[in-house]
Structure 1
């Protein structure tokens, strides 16, 4: 591999076009070099952004390109494991969109392939790269709010007017929990360093085999958590960490700059609320840079496949507590 890490993207998704493609293109030491899509129309914006982009009409053809060092996979959820495994076998480092899999036990073969090949393979869980989350984690660790007793998480949006969206297709791994439950659940785990002992309540509304509104509660060692995730409610984002001596609120925890300002509010018994903001932070670009550092051996990537498996295990627990997923 040369000094510049050359990336290929499997699939011309809107997310790749608007967020991860530009992040790869602008990150120092990285280059958006190839795209796999059969649609010239979908390839055009990528080619305009990255002149010289090599466009392949199939995923396998891109993986055969020896000049590509790393692959980003934003395919529909049910294809993630298959193509991540193929990319590793082709000798590529792999950054695969969340959720890596649709069940926790599906991730084991990918972990084994990562370990066997010695290549980097991780879930694109961008929020852990944002300084607001790193600051929150540090504050919790130093006891800024005293003993943590409860976490409240909300992430909702409404795509009811788009029935063809893959998030509304059960056979493609659709549903609110695979799409955005990974954030409220994983954020709680990552920020606290704790794992749930049990899911104590799960009330889920279903449409055509997809969970569209999930209200889930869990018990962790020393604290409780309650999460609301929906694809049928007015858009909202909030994470609240409530302790005996204070509380911390993140008002745009998952996609700041799109939903709102990256803002951390810390209030303690003095009644004073301290506010920190990060208006210029781009967690997608920070994620690319962190992945590059891991490839080069300069730093460990902060979100592993094991971390992703832990969050998927909580989603599996929520589905089980609600009586299981209905047939697609």
Structure 2
């Protein structure tokens, strides 16, 4: 333990491996991957590491692409390979679908998946706008399937620990300001040919990709409450096709007197920062989206900070808190999703609507930022 102001905080948390063990007689959730995007490599590994799931099938636009994906990722010989997305959905043994297709294809294939009663793990951004997302969510609700977007950082035990501290009004107080950033400097090849800079594939560009994380982190800190106003800042960079390469915005909550800002970009150095300031504390994490390491993650927390007499220093220093995890955060996501699916299949539970709500409010704010940009940076009232 180390003293943090007038309080003591443990500097190291361990997430016990016992809760992640699965009885040998339990049947794992059988995943099908629809689309062989680069991110699917990471998620295929996560599915295989999770104790309550198994990778059952992979589908691509051709059988050859599916087979190449299987070979590149050392998938077992008995995995099902399909050269058509519909064939995957027709397979009665597929319980859940992970869908990392371009955003422009989400509506079609997410709705088809739900209609086939396949539980849906959908890559972010979830849709081109909230109208499309609502069609996806309505299909999931109508067919009793679990929905979750694939924002992995929510599922790291560090995130839960950070939320515990933000919710402690004695230590942290009320949230007053938030800043998040998610950026990387794309290579010339990325900026020329990646699907995320193509108007017909991922028209939201950096706002939909890296901005999704920023907006999600801000809303997470505000317990998913929508802001009163959203205003894009006049710092937007676009490519020749009009796709956003970089942008920023401010959000304001009138009742809470809270302000938030974010910056997202494909043309700036790597950042994954989240800074939350309260009336009595500050939380800062440098790698909130992808931790520096798989097995543990850290964040900085300060409470009760004051200047010393004559302003020659501070009465406390930030405390570095480490949280261990037995699984990578993407496997934690798969495990949580699979647990919800198993509850529906085996116990008759209802789908957990929390994840639909989280995605929907994120999409609403993303839409508001886009609208503000299109309206020459006028405020959008939520």
TM-score, normalized by length of structure 2? 0.79
1:196 pairs with 202, 215, 227, which one? 227
| Distance (whole Å) between structure 2 residues aligned to residue 242 and residue 44 of structure 1 | 47
| Distance (whole Å) between structure 2 residues aligned to residue 73 and residue 239 of structure 1 | 27
> Which segments of 5 or more consecutive residues in structure 2 lack a partner in the other structure?
1-25, 306-314, 377-382
**Equivalent residue for 1:22?**
45
Q: CA deviation at 1:260?
A: 11
Secondary structure of 2:113's match? helix
Q: Is this contact kept in 2: 1:250–1:262, CA < 8 A?
A: no
1:139 pairs with 158, 165, 171, which one? 165
- Which structure's CA Rg is the greater one? 2
Secondary structure of 2:273's match? strand
2:99 pairs with 46, 67, 73, which one? 73
Alignment of 1:156-235 (within 5 A): 156-161=183-188, 162=190, 163-174=192-203, 175-193=205-223, 194-203=225-234, 204-207=236-239, 208-220=241-253, 221-235=256-270
| Distance (whole Å) between structure 1 residues aligned to residue 51 and residue 77 of structure 2 | 16
- Higher relative CO (CA 8 A, sep ≥ 6), structure 1 or 2? 2
**Equivalent residue for 1:130?**
156
Q: CA deviation at 1:258?
A: 6.4
Q: Is this contact kept in 1: 2:294–2:329, CA < 8 A?
A: no
Q: CA deviation at 1:41?
A: 2.4
Residue 260 to residue 118, structure 1, CA distance change in 2 (3 Å): closer
1:33-90 deviation line (CA, Å, top 9, x unaligned)? 10002213233224x2333111100100111111111110011111112111111111
> Which segments of 5 or more consecutive residues in structure 1 lack a partner in the other structure?
none
* Residue 44 (str. 1) matches residue 67 (str. 2): no
2:139 pairs with 102, 113, 126, which one? 113
| Distance (whole Å) between structure 2 residues aligned to residue 227 and residue 260 of structure 1 | 28
| Distance (whole Å) between structure 1 residues aligned to residue 298 and residue 195 of structure 2 | 31
1:307 pairs with 348, 358, 368, which one? 358
Q: Is this contact kept in 2: 1:133–1:191, CA < 8 A?
A: no
* Residue 98 (str. 1) matches residue 130 (str. 2): no
| Distance (whole Å) between structure 2 residues aligned to residue 228 and residue 65 of structure 1 | 42
**Equivalent residue for 1:10?**
34
Q: Is this contact kept in 1: 2:107–2:133, CA < 8 A?
A: yes
Q: CA deviation at 1:319?
A: 1.3
Residue 216 to residue 113, structure 1, CA distance change in 2 (3 Å): same
**Equivalent residue for 1:34?**
57
Between 55-64 and 272-281, the greater mean CA deviation after superposition: 272-281
Q: CA deviation at 1:181?
A: 0.8
| Distance (whole Å) between structure 1 residues aligned to residue 81 and residue 147 of structure 2 | 23
Alignment of 1:285-324 (within 5 A): 285-297=331-343, 301=352, 303-323=354-374
**Equivalent residue for 2:272?**
237
TM-score, normalized by length of structure 1? 0.92
Cα-Cα RMSD: 2.1
Matched residue count? 322
